[in-house]
Amino acid sequence: MARILIVEDEPRIASFVAKGLRSAGHLATVVPDGRSGLDHALSGDFDLAVLDIGLPSIDGFEVLDELRANGSALPVIVLTARDSVTDTVSALENGADDYMAKPFRFAELLARINLRLRPIGNGSAPRVEAIEAGGVHLDLRTRCATVGGKEVDLSAREFALAEIFMTNAGQVLSREQLLDQVWGFDFDPGSNVVDVYVGYLRKKFGADTILTLRGMGYRFNP
C-alpha cells in the first residue's frame, strides 16, 4: 500500500483516479491547486504524486521546479490534457518521472504508478539514498552527482539515466529498457535519444564509463 498524492483541479478526473487507486489498495489524497499540491508533496507524507499541469495558483511546471529545487526525489507522474512533444519534453526535463496524456486508461496509469513505486532491480529492497559505481556518486535525495569528489551538473533525464545504469552496474541494458524506464512514454523504437544521452554522460563521467555492446545495448562499468 502506497500513499499517493493527486494534484488535479477537475473533480471528475480526481475522483476517478482516487477511487481506482483506493480499489487497488493504495491511500489517495486529492488537492485541487498547485500551491496546496506543492505543500503536500514537500511534507514527506507521500510515496508518489500524480500531477496535472493546468492548475490554479501555480501550474504543474512550477510545482515540479519547486519540488526538485527543494531536493525532493518524490516520483511524479504528470497527467494532463497537454500532449504536444514540447510539453512532454518540458515536463520530463523539469523533473517528472513519467507523462500521460488525457484521455487515459486507468489500467495503464496504475501500471506506471506501480513501476515507479517499485525499486529498480529488486522489488523487495528498500529504496537507497545514494549510489556509487565506477567512480561516480549519485545522491538520490539532493539529485547531486560527483565524479572523483567533484560535482558535475546533470539534467533531470541525465540523472535518471545515470541512476538506471548505476543501479544495474555491470549488466547489459538494451535501448528499449532504457527508453521505457527513463523516458516512460510511447517512443519510436528507432529513436537515437538514448545514444545522445549516453554521449552526454560519457563526457561528464568519462569515455570508458559506459560501454556499447553492438546489437545488445549498454553496460555501466562498476
The pLDDT value given to residue 203: 95
The pLDDT value given to residue 88: 64
Q: Provide the CA 26 distance to its chain's centre, in angstroms.
A: 19
CATH of domain 130-220: 1.10.10.10
The pLDDT value given to residue 124: 40
Provide the grid cell at 213.
Answer: 555492446
For domain 3-117, which architecture applies? 3-Layer(aba) Sandwich (3.40)
The pLDDT value given to residue 71: 87
> Rounded CA gap, 177 and 152, in Å?
25
Quick one: which H or E segment has residue 198? helix 193-205
Residues of the chain with pLDDT under 70: 82-90, 118-128, 180-181, 183-190
The pLDDT value given to residue 139: 85
The pLDDT value given to residue 57: 94
Is the N-terminal amide bond of 189 cis, ω within 30° of 0?
no
With left for phi above 0 and alpha for psi between -120 and 50, is residue 95 left, alpha or beta? left
The pLDDT value given to residue 187: 53
The whole-model pTM stands at 0.55
> Rounded CA gap, 54 and 33, in Å?
9
Delimit the domains of the chain by residue range: 3-117, 130-220
Residue (of 2, 51, 59, 45) closest to 31 by Cα position: 51
> What pLDDT, in 10s, does the model give residues 171-221?
999 888 787 667 654 455 567 888 999 999 999 999 999 999 988 999 999
